[in-house]
Amino acid sequence: MNTVVYKIRIENEKFGTLLNETFVDGVQFKLFLKMIQGCLELKNNLSFFNGTDFLISIPFRFLEDSIIVTSTNEYELADHMRSKIEALVTK
């Protein structure tokens, strides 16, 4: 079973990593990227709260000075399980 994971990382020279998040849903990832793009174009702060456990607030002046990197990786459950089993065997 293959799954695609989407990652976004926002790096700032002064503060280091501001955001390092992984998404498994492509639609949520796309919406999050559109939100970041909108904040940059409209010169707004990046503020987001999902209602339970994820809150982010980055002022625009730090967001515009940051590097934003995205990536997609194919994740295979069999590889994950194989590495877990190998770790148990080597102990």
At 73-82, the pLDDT tens digits run: 887 767 666 6
Strands of the 2-12 sheet, one edge to the other: 16-23, 2-12, 67-76
Give every residue of the chain whose pLDDT is below 50, as ranges. Answer: none
Domain interval for residue 8:
2-90
Q: Total structural domains in the chain?
A: 1
Q: What is the DSSP letter of 78?
A: H
Q: What is the pLDDT of residue 38?
A: 96
Find the radius of gyration of the CA atoms of the chain.
17
CB 32 within 8 A of CB 8: yes
